[in-house]
């Protein structure tokens, strides 16, 4: 059984984040979505990711 790649997705635009997560999951990626830089940082240090997609201008902490 092939292991899915784990993606870190940090996007403050709720609609865009959900759209990207659904698209990436449909392509076979396990995707964690974070709504701001602070939540993203906390999630990032807890989990090993294969790829990170980060919005640069975010509330609380920038990407």
Sequence ranges of the domains in the chain: 1-28
What does each of the 63 residues of the chain score in pLDDT, given as a tens digit?
A: 678 999 999 999 999 999 999 999 999 999 999 999 899 999 999 999 999 999 877 777 765
* CB atoms inside a 10 Å sphere around CB 17: 19
Question: What pLDDT is stored for residue 20 in this prediction?
Answer: 96
Joined tokens for residue 10: 């940090």
Question: What pLDDT is stored for residue 3 in this prediction?
Answer: 87
Question: What pLDDT is stored for residue 58 in this prediction?
Answer: 75
Joined tokens for residue 56: 């640069």
pTM: 0.84
């Amino acid at each position: 059984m092939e292991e899915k790649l784990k993606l870190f997705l940090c996007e403050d635009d709720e609609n865009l984040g959900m759209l990207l997560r659904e698209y990436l999951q449909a392509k076979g990626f396990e995707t964690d979505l974070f709504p701001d830089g602070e939540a993203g940082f906390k999630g990032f240090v807890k989990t090993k990711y294969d790829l990170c997609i980060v919005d640069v201008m975010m509330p609380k902490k920038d990407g």
